[in-house]
Amino acid sequence: MRDLHLPGRSVAMGCHGAAATSHSLATSTAIDILRRGGNAADAAIAACAVQCVVEPGSTGVGGDNFVLYAPSGTNTTGGGTVYGINGSGRAPAGLNAEFLRERGSEQIALTSPHAVTVPGAVDSWCMLHHRFGRLPLAQLLQPAIDHAEHGFPVTERVAVDWRRNQAKLRADPNAARMWLKDGASPEFGDTFRQPEHAKVLREIATKGRDGFYTRWVAEDIVGYLRERGGTHTLEDFAAQEALWVDPISATYKGVELLEIPPNGTGVIALLMLNILRGFDLSRYDPVGVERFHLEAEVTRLAFQVRDSFVADPAFAEVPTRKLLSMDFADELRSGIDMTKAMPVPRAGTGAIDRDTVYLTVVDAEGNVCSFINSLFWQYGTGLCSPRTGVLLHNRGCGFTLAPGHPNCLQPRKRPLHTIIPAMALENGRPWLSFGVMGGAFQPVGQVHVLTNILDYGMNIQEALDNPRGFHTAGRFEAERGIRDDVLAGLADLGHTVTRVEVPHGGGQAILLDHVNGVLHAGSDPRKDGCALAY
């Protein structure tokens, strides 16, 4: 690839690689790593580590990570492979649903130590680096260490999210001491330092995964969780292992979309596309009543499937092949009526929301990395061990406590997981590396962005900018960009509609134009990120 085109601006330059992330400091880090001889895997790890410092509400080393990676020259029609990593953490060996039900719990609380599965991100980074990385891990983590140790400027969106979560951080004495300034969140433009976080990153830089899952870091985290009533052990942390997985896929308009298989919800994005294959979206206004009605109905159907079947396949039978069959999609599609909304489905199986960072990198050789890292809800549980500064995610809230359910909490089980990196292939070659953040919204967001391109001919930036809606919790939640008359039309069809204060997720994308040798990149204005090339 030689040139980068940033839609919405006239930019063309001699280009050796591109990156798009949800924070500008992370994007510039990725470009710097590429300039120094690193590849797409190196740049993704380095950029994400920076995001863990400068965007702490969305991601951290106390969270999970999923990756899709296509080595240079990948062409699946000729036997090439796109590699997947499932870096989701597991429940402690000493915890199960019965244990919590006996103590009066009907679900796992968002700020409970029981919501903390063993963080999987660091092990996933190290697996990716071991197989595909080029530069030393210490060099990749140094920018994040510098930002944590010497300080970083707080950006606007990060400041807003930080302010909204002050109460959560104040509730934990360690988090209040390390993640607030005089009991309050930093403001836009403030410089914030996190020296404890720098020490943890330095441990990982010098000792690899063992720097997080053993020794003083693991001892500090485990000890604090047990003080709070958790069942975690050092053995749980030492045993954490990310998995290499084969992506699953579905084809739409001649493009093959790849996803990580369950326990992730990428299968739901694929199911939604299969249902939409029976409609001609291009007939409808891209911000009109029919398009959003159809998205809402497909979301209802697909999320009922999610709540019934998606779980850890090592513990439950997940009928992935059936869920991706066209017969199944045809059956679900038959329940859609373009003249009225279907009844509101039953409630879901757990807290399936909230915050994540996504990034994508393409390097000069053509290696492509689609990479996502998350604390789940903003600032995770808000729990933070006294020496590490590591905010711990609440991914365990993705479990249900319902006996016999495929996604019921069990020892060493992985929960239903919302983070889903995506990669689309055209003629067997990587064509679009992208992701859309926002917890449960992610399958909906991916389908919305992809159909914006394939059905409406939008460029990358237009596809990301386009207004979004999300049918969740029995109502259609509309961003401000959707017109009032469209919401009125949806209400006439039977939808309960509301406006949302916070937009649905963010997103980044790089499109590889193999015909012209050009990269097209975009970054969602809903976040503080950008797309850059060199």
pLDDT in tens, 220-255: 999 999 999 999 999 999 999 999 999 999 999 999
Vertex 274, ends 269 and 278: CA angle to 5°?
A: 135
**Can you read off the two tokens belonging to residue 12?**
């063309």
Across 471-487, average pLDDT = 95
SS3 label, residue 424: strand
pTM, full prediction: 0.93
Q: What is the mean pLDDT of the chain?
A: 92
Q: What is the pLDDT of residue 21?
A: 85
Q: What is the pLDDT of residue 6?
A: 36
Predicted confidence (pLDDT) per residue in 43-101, tens digit: 999 999 999 999 999 899 999 999 999 999 999 998 899 999 999 999 999 999 999 99
At 355, the pLDDT band (50, 70, 90 cuts) reads low
Q: What is the pLDDT of residue 125?
A: 98
Q: What is the pLDDT of residue 4?
A: 40
pLDDT higher than threshold 90 for residue 534: no
Strands (E), 111-263: 152-153, 191-192, 243-245, 248-252, 255-259
Q: Find the Cα–Cα–Cα–Cα dihedral 36, 511, 529, 9, rounded to 10°.
A: 100
Quickly list DSSP for 367-381. -EEEEEEEEESTTTT
**Can you read off the two tokens belonging to residue 195?**
């020296």
Strands 497-499 and 429-436: unpaired
Contact criterion met (CB below 8 Å) for 258 and 234? no
Vertex 412, ends 64 and 210: CA angle to 5°?
A: 55
Q: What is the pLDDT of residue 15?
A: 57
Q: What is the pLDDT of residue 142?
A: 97
Quickly list DSSP for 296-333. HHHHHHHHHHHHHH-S-TTTS---HHHHTSHHHHHHHH
Distance CA 361, CA 11 (A): 18
In the set 27, 155, 299, 356, the catalytic residue is 356
Predicted confidence (pLDDT) per residue in 411-424, tens digit: 999 999 999 999 99
Q: What is the pLDDT of residue 343?
A: 85
Across 387-403, average pLDDT = 95
Contact criterion met (CB below 8 Å) for 408 and 105? no
Strands 255-259 and 422-426: antiparallel
Distance CA 70, CA 367 (A): 6
SS3 label, residue 35: helix
Predicted confidence (pLDDT) per residue in 450-471, tens digit: 999 999 999 999 999 999 999 9
Distance CA 323, CA 505 (A): 26
498 is catalytic: no
pLDDT higher than threshold 60 for residue 20: yes
Domains in the chain, start-ordered, CATH in brackets?
Answer: 21-244+352-398 (no CATH), 250-350+433-506 (1.10.246.130)
Predicted confidence (pLDDT) per residue in 356-378, tens digit: 789 999 999 999 999 999 999 99
Q: What is the pLDDT of residue 505?
A: 83
